[in-house]
Amino acid sequence: MTRVLLLALLLPALPLGVAARAIHDTAPGAEPRLLRFCFEETPAPPWRTRQQVGLYFDLLREVAHRLDLTFVFEPLPWPHCIAKIEAGRVDGAFAVAWSPERRDMFAFPEHAPTVPADILRTDDILLIRRRDSEVRVVDGRLLGTARPVGVLPGYAIADDLQRLGWPVETASRDHVVQLSRLVAGEVDAVALSAFRWKQLQAVGGPALARLEALPEPILTKHYFLGLSRAFAEAHPQLARRIWAAVREVRDGEDYRRREAAALAEALAPRP
């Protein structure tokens, strides 16, 4: 019995981490058939949930099916996911916002961030303030406060704002907690996804009524399937095939239809 066949029989009984190592070790130098991805564990419907439901998982499972691969997904706090990428303990992560600071650890599609077909999704970033606030942005400068802007930890938004000279703080991993701190006056502004802001507005509530978004986005972010730099350099052809399959699935009629329905449902007003 060959070693590969023996492993195939044993894998169902092995713990996930052991199974992954077994597949990666079956043929040194060969392309792996099992890839490990981490993702932010905080739910962001309709894109992802900790239970691995959402548009990202629909897309990536179809990619794996088309390439005859197995993808294993691990929910983690985003900073821990980034640390695993840096340590080479996972093969990729999603969805990764492109930024110059991340090119040393992540490999992105060749023409990122300029080619729309490679993008998993695009979202504007808004600055949220209290309605009685003097916080404003003029020519890229943050005015009306000397306090840091709330940003989720590990997010590329922090790099972007710091590049502009803005102070940032990453004390909370949850947008709702950040906004609660804003209402309470603990911070003067929070950087928030425009899509998430629309979702919260659909729910409403007295606390939210005390907040407002500046009319113009402060950033526009493009999100990708990021492969670890080590993985992409070790398996460049496989990396290109994965990104090509992502483009095919994302631009397919079936995925586009499911995406449109999921986005509409996520933004529907809640009673």
User: For residue 13, what pLDDT band results from cuts at 50, 70 and 90?
Assistant: very low
pLDDT at 30 over 90: no
Amino acid at 68: D
Report whether pLDDT(16) > 80. no
pLDDT at position 190 is 98
Dihedral sign (CA 145, 151, 153, 157): negative
Q: What local confidence, expressed as pLDDT, does residue 41 receive?
A: 95
- Cα angle value 34/37/42 (rounded, 5°): 150
Q: Which two tokens stand for residue 165?
A: 């000279």
SS3 letters across 227-250: EEHHHHHHCHHHHHHHHHHHHHHH
Model confidence at 40, in pLDDT bands (50, 70, 90)?
A: very high
Position 27 scores a pLDDT of 60
8 Å CB contact between 231 and 87:
no
pLDDT value, residue 10: 39
Mean pLDDT of 162-173: 93
Pick the range with the lowest mean pLDDT from 3-7, 59-63, 140-144, 164-168. Answer: 3-7
pLDDT tens across 206-247, in order? 889 999 999 999 999 999 999 999 999 999 999 999 999 999
Q: Which residue has the tokens 């590969």?
A: 4
Q: Could you tell me which residue, 127 or 29, shows the higher pLDDT?
A: 127
108 has a pLDDT exceeding 90: yes
Average pLDDT on 53-65 reads: 98
The model's confidence at residue 103, banded by pLDDT at 50, 70 and 90, is confident
What is the mean predicted confidence (pLDDT) over 7-24? 42
Instruction: Report the DSSP pairing between strands 219-228 and 106-107.
Output: antiparallel
pLDDT at 67: 98
What's the pTM? Answer: 0.85
Share of the chain above pLDDT 70, in %: 89
> Residue 7's pLDDT is what?
38
Mean pLDDT of the chain: 89
User: Residue type for 224, please?
Assistant: F
* pLDDT of 43: 92
Q: Which helix (H) or strand (E) holds 19?
A: helix 16-24
pLDDT of residue 109: 93
